[in-house]
Amino acid sequence: MSASSVTTTIDTIVGLQTAYDELKAAEELLGGIPDWMKELHTEYSERKEAIETIEAAIEQAAADRRAAEAEAADTREKLEHYQEQIGRVRNQREYSALLQEIDVVKQGIQGFEEQGLEALERHETESAHLEEERQAFAELESRYNEELGKWEAQKPDVAEKAEELRRRIEALKEQLPPPDLRQFEASFARFDGAALARIQLVQRPGKGPRIWHCSRCNYRVLPQAIVEVRNHGSVVLCDSCKRILFYSENED
Ligand SMILES: [Zn+2]
C-alpha cells in the first residue's frame, strides 16, 4: 500500500489479519521458548530427563536391595526354626524330610543374598554414572540459566508489543463498516484465524488473457471480482472456499 492511497475496507481487513498473525506469534513466544533457545532447551531437557532416569534406577536398586535383605532375614529365621527341630525328630524319615527343608531354605538364603549383592552393585554403578552426568550437566545448566535470563529480560518487550497489537486490532475493527467486520470475524473463526486468500496471477507460458486464482483453493477469480477488490477495496469472497480475497501488487 503506497502512502498516497486511500485506506479501503480491504486494506483495513488485511491490516487486521496481519495484526492478528503478529499477536498470535507474540503470544506463542510468550508461552514458549524463543527460536534461538530451542536447541539448547532440547539438549537441557534431554540431559535432565537422563539424570532423572538414573535417579529412578538408583532408587529402584536401593528398594531391590532392601527387599532382598528382608527376604534373606526371614529365610534365616526359618532356617533357625528348622535347625531347632533337628533334636526333636522321632525317626529317620522325619530327619531326612527336615534336612531336605533345611537344604531348600539354605538355597533360598543364598539366592536372596545374591540378589542383594546384585542390587548393591547396580546401586554403585548407577551412582557413579549419576555423578558423571551431574558434572557434565552443571556446565550445560549454567549456560541454560544464563540464556533463560536473557529471554526473561526480553519478555516485557514482547508482552508490550502484544498489548500494542491488541490495541491496533481494536482500532482497525472500529474503522470497518459493521457488515464487513462481521464477515471478517465469521471467516476468521471458520478458517482458524486465517480469513484471507490472495488473488494470484496464474503463470502461463505464451500470451493470452490473464487468469487469476484464489491462493488458498486455486479456484478461478473472475475479472469483476478483481476490479471490486483492487479498484474499490470491497469485501469479496472466493466463490469456492469463501475466504475474503485480497490483492497485492508485489507478490505475483
Ligand atoms: Zn478460494
User: Looking at residue 3, what is its pLDDT?
Assistant: 43
Are 56 and 25 part of one and the same domain? no
73-104 per-position pLDDT tens digit: 999 999 999 999 998 989 999 999 999 999 99
Q: End of a domain among 107, 142, 174?
A: 174
Helix axes 9-30, 92-175, angle to 10 degrees: 150
Distance from the alpha carbon of residue 179 to the mean position of ligand 1, in angstroms? 21
Residue 128, SS3 per DSSP: helix
Distance from the alpha carbon of residue 211 to the mean position of ligand 1, in angstroms? 14
Are 18 and 53 part of one and the same domain? no
Name residue 236's amino acid.
Answer: V
201-225 per-position pLDDT tens digit: 887 777 777 899 999 999 999 999 9
Is pTM beyond 0.75? Reply is: no
In this structure, are residues 47 and 140 in contact, taking their beta carbons and an 8 Å threshold? yes
Mean pLDDT rounded to a whole number for the chain? 93
Distance from the alpha carbon of residue 5 to the mean position of ligand 1, in angstroms? 26
Are 228 and 240 part of one and the same domain? yes
Distance CA 109, CA 113 (A): 6
Distance from the alpha carbon of residue 248 to the mean position of ligand 1, in angstroms? 16
Residue 205, SS3 per DSSP: coil
Distance from the alpha carbon of residue 246 to the mean position of ligand 1, in angstroms? 11
Distance from the alpha carbon of residue 196 to the mean position of ligand 1, in angstroms? 9
H or E element: which one contains 165?
helix 92-175
CA nearest neighbour of 200 among 219, 181, 176: 219
Distance from the alpha carbon of residue 218 to the mean position of ligand 1, in angstroms? 6
Q: C-alpha grid cell for residue 232?
A: 474499490
Distance from the alpha carbon of residue 14 to the mean position of ligand 1, in angstroms? 16
In this structure, are residues 242 and 216 in contact, taking their beta carbons and an 8 Å threshold? no
Give me the domain span that covers residue 64.
33-174
Number of domains into which the chain is organized:
2
Distance from the alpha carbon of residue 181 to the mean position of ligand 1, in angstroms? 19
123-170 per-position pLDDT tens digit: 999 999 999 999 999 999 999 999 999 999 999 999 999 999 999 999
